[in-house]
Structure 1
Amino acid sequence: MSFPDLTPELSAAMPELRGRLIANQGLAELTWFRVGGPAQMLFTPADEDDLAYFLANLPAEIPVTVIGLGSNLIVRDGGVPGVVVRLGRGFSEITVEDGYRLRAGTAVPDVKLARAAAEAGIDGLAFYRGIPGGLGGALRMNAGAHGGETKDTLIEARGVDRAGRVRVFTNADFGFSYRHSQAPADVIFTAALFQGRPGETAAILAEMDRITSAREASQPIREKTGGSTFKNPPGQKAWQLIDAAGCRGLALGGAQMSTMHCNFLINTGGATAADIEGLGEEVRRRVKDHSGVELEWEIKRIGLPV
């Protein structure tokens, strides 16, 4: 499927744009599942000013979708209409600041933030080693692992809203809860400031190694997967509910619930996005029938079906 090319219209309306605009860019290669259709327009801004200029001049009727590293994402097979924004090199800097703080662009992978903190002798951020994503997604969904959550470390974040205005949000502004924030949906976060505490580099790196070993032992991290598929219901574990409903190893087309960790969907090699999402919905149905619990997706799903 392909969409009408918006490049001439947008280029004419934004003569000072410095970022890259690509029409009908395939998105499958940008996601860990390696499935899905194209973006009508993929925009990679040069920096925050470029992003603000783009959004301020983008016609209001054109929808905007943001993606990060694609680790927790299903792009449906019909693709994504409008503009897909993906932050790149201009949002990948990390700066160590006084008071055991780090400021980082939101295109920075979580693991890279953890390593930068360790090398600076800043403790409290090692848990990011266990999160397969980028900081933009971590802010949006209060990502956490191994006893830590984004809400525990964030001081403030910068972002650009749909009107092109640069805004600053404090930790309290996010209204963080389990795997969720109440930040405005139209804001594209560009940078964040994190608070750590004094630590010893060797000890922090050892903790990161422990997290790595735990992940490798319990999760199918070498497969085409999207991380945890469903959120843990209050007081329960999603994987236990899935296992009890007989869904470990359940398959649909080229998609399968991992036999190693049954809250992980995997693409076994020839899956479509419809296979993966359809299997997830079938698991939700079986769990609801078995236990009465309605699982909530943790993986983000965007775009149109074929």
Structure 2
Amino acid sequence: MSELLAALSDPALGLRGKLQAGADLSKITWFRTGGPADLMFQPADEADLAAFLAALPAVVPLTVVGIGSNLLIRDGGIGGVVLRLPAKGFGEVEAIGEGRIRAGAAASDKRVAAVALEAGLGGFHFLHGIPGSVGGAIRMNGGANGVETADRLVEARALDRQGRVHVLTKSEMGFSYRHADAPEDLIFVSAIFEGPESPRDEIRRAMDEVQHHRETVQPVREKTGGSTFKNPPGTSAWKEVDRAGCRGLRIGGAEMSALHCNFMLNVGEATGHDLELLGETVRERVYATSGILLEWEIKRLGRFAEGAEVRPFSP
């Protein structure tokens, strides 16, 4: 990594972004856990990112992270390079006419909803309640309140590992529930969305309902990663967690919320190990109770600390 750091720091490359060795990743996740990155790069803009990718050897692992709201980083940290797109350079949101909005990948979902309100475009209220960024919403087909990113997306712009530009239409994204089939090595940098014209008072009312629901039934002021598990067909994840007696279940500093038991919390000084072990314990108990194998919605990345591996539950 020291050799790679020196090579990427060469002034001849002309990189303008921030390159940091041993970056503390616990500071960027909402769980406030996780080990360091070998290297972390935050590009200045798309051109800077393209130059960095062209210079990065293909054998070096590259992990893209967003604002860390739906992310569990393991205690051993992340090897290779962690790429994080900053709001400055990738966070702009603007209405561009014809019922469309262009948003950078680092823009918050909430900001997109606010710009849609200003432009009088309906159908974006669901983003008001998702504590994530546009890049994550595209990659995971983020959704809430019966609406998904796929319902609003027109096209997504991305760079590949060589820094080349790709533009994918909605059909090319291969969207399904909380998933997109787009190649894993694509790094989304922006997207265009569209929605129907709608009275602003109706849009505001829908956004207020989303906000009220979220503040009433979700532990929004806790250190959490949002929904822990995807909803299985025909039921809700929280119902199955509750039936299995896991509401309030605690391991170390990690706890399944008593308010909304599909939310996992860091209620003290939880480690990544505590959180992942709690999740796998819940998966095992739910399967024993109902025969349903819950799928993680939270992304788990990185290396386990030595001697602290968590084995995924398998029936």
Corresponding residue for residue 124 of structure 2? 125
Per the alignment, residue 42 of structure 1 pairs with 40
Q: Name the counterpart of 2:94.
A: 95
Output one character per residue of 1:29-70: Cα deviation in whole Å (capped at 9) or x when no partner: 101000001111111011111111111110111100000010
SS of 1:259 mapped into structure 2: coil
Say what the alpha-carbon RMSD is for the aligned residues: 1.2
> 19, 23, 32: which is aligned to 2:17?
19
| Secondary structure class of the residue paired with 2:247 | coil
The Cα offsets for residues 88-133 of structure 1, whole Å up to 9 and x where unpaired, read as 1100111211211000101000001001100111111111011110
Q: Which residue of 2 aligns with 1:176?
A: 175
Q: Residues of 2 paired with 1:20 and 1:96: CA distance? A: 29
| 2:113 aligned with 1:84 | no
Question: How far apart, CA to CA, are the structure 1 residues paired with 2:277 and 2:4?
Answer: 31
Matches within 5 A, 1:144-223: 144-223=143-222
1:7 corresponds to which residue? Answer: 5
For the 8 Å contact 1:48–1:190, the answer to whether it is kept is: yes
AA partner of residue 68 (structure 2): G
Name which of 30, 33, 39 aligns with 1:32: 30
- The aligned residue for residue 238 of structure 2 is 239
Identical amino acids, percent of aligned pairs:
55
Offset at residue 160 of structure 1 (A): 0.3
Structure 1 outlier segments of 4+, above 6 Å: none
Offset of residue 5 of structure 1? 6.9
Q: Unmatched 5+ residue regions in structure 2?
A: 306-315
Aligned to 1:52: 50
Change in 2 beyond 3 A, CA 1:190/1:14: farther
Partner of 1:223, secondary structure, is coil
Contact 1:226–1:299 at 8 Å: present in 2 too?
Answer: yes
What SS is found at the alignment partner of 2:154? strand
Aligned match of 1:257: 256
Measured against aligned partners, the alpha-carbon deviations of 1:152-192 in whole angstroms (never above 9, x if no partner) come to 00000100011111110000011100000001100110010
Aligned counterparts of 1:224 and 1:14: Cα–Cα separation in 2 = 42
3-state SS of 1:40 partner = strand
In the alignment, what sits opposite 1:229?
228
CA distance in 1, matches of 2:53, 2:2: 20
* Cα distance, 1:6 vs structure 2: 3.6
d(CA) in 2 for partners of 1:14, 1:32:
37
Name the CA distance, whole Å, in 1 between partners of 2:3 and 2:252: 32
Q: CA deviation at 1:15?
A: 2.0
CA distance in 2, matches of 1:48, 1:177: 28
- The whole-number CA distance in structure 2 between the counterparts of 1:211 and 1:31 is 23
CA distance in 2, matches of 1:22, 1:112: 28
Taking the aligned partners of 1:186 and 1:140, their CA distance within structure 2 comes to 11
Give the corresponding residue for 2:269.
Answer: 270
Q: Specify which of 46, 62, 65 is matched with residue 64 of structure 1.
A: 62
Q: Is the 8 A contact 1:102 1:195 kept in 2?
A: yes
Q: What's the secondary structure of 1:197's corresponding residue?
A: coil
2:9 is paired with a residue whose SS is: helix
SS in 2 for 1:82: strand
- Residues 258 and 266 in structure 1, CA contact (< 8 A), matched pair in contact too: yes
TM-score normalised to structure 2 length = 0.94
Q: Write the distance in 2 (CA, Å) between the matches of 1:253 and 1:4.
A: 35
In 1: Cα distance, 2:281 partner to 2:144 partner: 26
2:308 matched residue in structure 1: none
TM-score, normalised with respect to structure 1:
0.97
Instruction: Find the counterpart in structure 2 of residue 75 from structure 1.
Output: 73
Matches within 5 A, 1:126-141: 126-141=125-140
Aligned to 2:312: none
Aligned residues: 304
Secondary structure in 2 aligned to 1:90?
helix
**Matched residues in 2 for 1:98 and 1:15: separation?**
37
The residue type paired with residue 301 of structure 1 is R
Instruction: Give the 3-state SS of the residue equivalent to 1:18 in structure 2.
Output: coil
Query: Which secondary structure does the structure 2 equivalent of 1:66 belong to?
Result: strand
- Per-residue CA deviation, residues 236-255 of structure 1 (Å, 9 max, x unaligned), is 11111111111000000000
State the alpha-carbon separation in 2 of the partners of residues 208 and 85 from structure 1: 32
Deviation at 1:202, TM superposition (A): 2.3
